[in-house]
Amino acid sequence: MVGGSIAGCAAALAAHRGGAAEVTVFERAPGHLADRGVGLAMHNDRYAELEAAGYVDASMPWLQLGRRCWYVRDGSAPLGRRIGVLPFPFRTYNWGPLWRELRERVPGSAEFRSGTAVTSVEVTPDGVELAMGPDGPGERFDLVIGADGYRSAVRTAACPEVRPRYAGYLAWRGAFAAERLMAPELWPDEDCVYAVFPGGHVIIYRIPDGRGGLRINWVLYTAPPPDLALRFDNPTSLPPGTLAETLHTRLAHIADTRLAPYWGQLVRTTTADELFVQPMYDFTAPHYANGRLVLAGDAATVARPHTGGGAVKALQDATALEKCLTGEPDWRAALSAYDTGRATSGRSMVELGRRLGVGLVEQTPDWSAMDQGGLEKWWQQVDGSGGFGGRRLTS
Ligand SMILES: Cc1cc2nc3c(=O)[nH]c(=O)nc-3n(C[C@H](O)[C@H](O)[C@H](O)COP(=O)(O)OP(=O)(O)OC[C@H]3O[C@@H](n4cnc5c(N)ncnc54)[C@H](O)[C@@H]3O)c2cc1C
């Protein structure tokens, strides 16, 4: 296994349950993966499937949300005008505690080598050779699962032609302790907020802090300022404390002029060391398995986060892999079945992410004229096949 994050921990469990005699996980980061205290959301139905499959459970701290409230700026009205409300049966998680729980589920018999970056992946006639470091000796494995994220080395070996594609806009992400939120009574805990504006939106919800309290978590999507010197052709992200001044200025401008005062103030409460930027990329590998190389999670497919299904997709890959390894007569048949099932599902999530990106960022509707009926109709058009939150595990 290359990568020991969400997909890597889950796939290590899948390989173990699927009968692998020995499992080794190589994770570049030393020690525990350092989280940024931000969150993710998981659809209740997808959670139930993953719980039944034995990959998640109620001991992972979560917060239940119920609805999505859509707001547009309206003069000085604190929250703006509420356009409408859609159901939002999602649990929210804090990435760090979720990862730590998954890490604990990696069987003790698996060797987890932290602080070990895989530098080359070479397929040989009877296996795959991985090298760690420029001079280190290679090690041979029967199968290699690439759970090494969107810049995957295993994917480069399996599908060299695949390149993540920059979508033309950014996600500013931030989170802070809920005690710092002004007037929390204006915004119920179970509401997820979409504060929309021409050319983008911010999605805001609370997440557990993992210690019994809550954090305020938000992601704001819009195009970068036109005078930004940075280019995003190569996949990258900008960690806290590294943002160019123009990116701070752009965020402050949006918060002050495009969001209603309450949501703008919320974004402004976030400090520079709680703020980072992820340019939006997407891609899908044509195959989830190629010979002895297997892909899982973001290494295989990155769908834009509007789909609300990135972590779910990674966990589903693992459960599907386990099912194929236990249900098929040999490893070749298992990987072929895994490829067929997951490549189709991954592709459909990427397409959904692109459609949602168009509707929510690239070609936004006239929010100021929209009402509840208009919102429902518009959402049906952009979500189309109903994949928001992830596809059913069996499909
Ligand atoms: C530290 C961290 C924090 C994150 N926080 C959030 C969050 O708060 N909210 C959210 O929605 N998503 C977060 N993500 C992303 C999220 O985990 C993924 O988008 C999604 O869940 C799919 O996970 P993944 O395991 O496929 O990919 P990733 O989570 O990107 O994991 C890939 C892993 O592979 C390792 N790796 C890469 N190359 C090599 C190599 N050559 N050798 C060895 N190891 C390698 C990386 O260090 C990383 O741990 C985070 C990812 C990381 C790594």
How much is the mean pLDDT over the chain?
94
Q: What is the rounded distance in angstroms from the CA atom of residue 8 to the CA atom of residue 300?
A: 12
Ligand 1 atom with minimal separation from the 296 CA: 26
The helix/strand/coil state of 143 is coil
For 97, phi then psi, to 5°, come to -60, -35
Residue nearest to atom 49 of ligand 1 (CA): 5
- Contacts with 160 (C-beta within 8 Å, 6 or more apart), sequence order: none
Residue 319 and residue 53 in contact, taking contact as beta carbons nearer than 8 Å: yes
pLDDT of residue 233: 77
User: How far away, in angstroms, is 27 Cα from ligand 1 center?
Assistant: 10
Give 85-103 as a DSSP string.
EEE--EEEEEHHHHHHHHH
Q: What is the rounded distance in angstroms from the CA atom of residue 107 to the CA atom of residue 22?
A: 11
Per-residue confidence band for 395, with pLDDT thresholds at 50, 70 and 90: very low
Which amino acid appears at position 173 of this protein? R
Residue 306 CA to its chain's centroid (Å): 9
> Containing H/E element for 201?
strand 200-208
CA of 325: how far to CAs of 39, 84, 102, 128, 339, in Å? 31, 45, 20, 19, 12
Q: Report the residue among 5, 36, 56, 306 best suited for mutation to probe ligand 1: largest number of ligand atoms under 8 A from its CB.
A: 5
Q: Does residue 98 have its Cβ closer than 6 Å to ligand 1?
A: no
Q: What is the rounded distance in angstroms from the CA atom of residue 144 to the CA atom of residue 2?
A: 7
Strand partners, 193: 69, 204
Give 330-392 as a DSSP string.
SHHHHHHHHHHHHHHHHHHHHHHHHHHHIIIIIT---GGG--HHHHHHHHHHHHTTT-TT---
Q: Tokens at residue 190, please?
A: 């179970």
Question: Which letter does DSSP use for residue 307 in this model?
Answer: G
Q: Does residue 40 have its Cβ closer than 6 Å to ligand 1?
A: yes
Q: Report the residue among 148, 203, 288 best suited for mutation to probe ligand 1: largest number of ligand atoms under 8 A from its CB.
A: 148
User: For 115-166, how does the pLDDT look when each residue is reduced to its tens digit (9 = 90+)?
Assistant: 999 999 999 999 999 999 777 678 999 999 999 999 999 999 999 999 898 9
User: How far away, in angstroms, is 369 Cα from ligand 1 center?
Assistant: 40
User: How far away, in angstroms, is 93 Cα from ligand 1 center?
Assistant: 15
Compute the average pLDDT of residues 103-123: 95
First to last CA, the chain: 26
User: For 49-58, how does the pLDDT look when each residue is reduced to its tens digit (9 = 90+)?
Assistant: 999 999 999 9
Residue 64 and residue 91 in contact, taking contact as beta carbons nearer than 8 Å: yes
Q: Does residue 8 have its Cβ closer than 6 Å to ligand 1?
A: yes
Residue nearest to atom 21 of ligand 1 (CA): 311
Residue 136 CA to its chain's centroid (Å): 33
Q: What is the rounded distance in angstroms from the CA atom of residue 267 to the CA atom of residue 245?
A: 16
Q: Tokens at residue 303, please?
A: 């769908």
Is the torsion defined by CA of 338, 340, 345, 350 positive or negative? positive
Residue nearest to atom 4 of ligand 1 (CA): 35
How many Cα atoms are found within 13 Å in the side-chain-facing hemisphere of 380?
Answer: 6
- The percentage of the chain sitting over the pLDDT mark of 90, rounded to a whole number, equals 86
Q: Where are the alpha helices (DSSP H) in 39-119?
A: 44-52, 95-105
Task: Tokens 């979409």: give the residue.
Answer: 194
The helix/strand/coil state of 12 is helix
Per-residue confidence band for 243, with pLDDT thresholds at 50, 70 and 90: confident
Strand partners, 56: none
Residue nearest to atom 28 of ligand 1 (CA): 149
Q: Tokens at residue 14, please?
A: 């899948």
Residue 385 vs residue 63, higher pLDDT: 63
Q: Which of 30-34, 110-114, 297-301, 391-395 has the lowest mean pLDDT?
A: 391-395
Per-residue confidence band for 195, with pLDDT thresholds at 50, 70 and 90: very high
Give 205-255 as a DSSP string.
EEEE-SSS-EEEEEEEEEPPPTT-----SS---B-TT---HHHHHHHHHHH
- What's the whole-model pTM score? 0.94
